Amino acid sequence: MVKSIVFLLIFSHFLFGNDLEQSKAIYENDCMSCHKQLSFELKSVFFDYLLKYSSEDVVKTALIDYLKNPNKDTSVMSKNYIRRFGIKNRSNLNDIELKMAIDYYWEKYKVFGKIK
């Protein structure tokens, strides 16, 4: 019984550890490769989404919807920003990769549980 529990703990750590690393790689390679060239940080966009949508589930859903179908009506960017840079192109990530990247993005910038 103890061996089974230890095995499950080690296996789940291995499984979730890889998931986190894969999520980070997708975020770094597919999101940051473009965003690092822009004049704003994704951290500020995170807080704009958080102010507008407030909860984790709603923020993540809004991000997925926007990235799959970007348009000025659902963007949290200012009108001046949109006039200057336009609307981003549709994401090339599949649904699973998109979810993984957004999960990593949430974990990277969330404030819940980090404020002391």
116 occurs within a structural domain: no
User: According to the model, what pLDDT value does residue 99 have?
Assistant: 95
Question: Scanning the structure block, which residue is given the tokens 């507008």?
Answer: 52
In sequence order, what DSSP letters do the residues of 80-101 get, joined into one string? Answer: HHHHHH-PPPPP-S-HHHHHHH
- Domain membership of residue 72 as a residue range: 2-109
Residues 6+ apart with CB under 8 A from 100: 19, 22, 23, 26, 27
82-107 pLDDT, tens digit per residue, is 898 889 889 999 999 999 999 999 99
- Between 1-10, 49-58, 70-79, the lowest mean confidence (pLDDT) is in 1-10
Q: What is the pLDDT of the chain when averaged over all its residues?
A: 81
Q: Which amino acid is at 4?
A: S
41-73 pLDDT, tens digit per residue, is 788 889 999 999 989 999 999 999 999 999 999
> How does DSSP classify residue 56?
H
Count of structural domains within the chain: 1
115 occurs within a structural domain: no
114 occurs within a structural domain: no
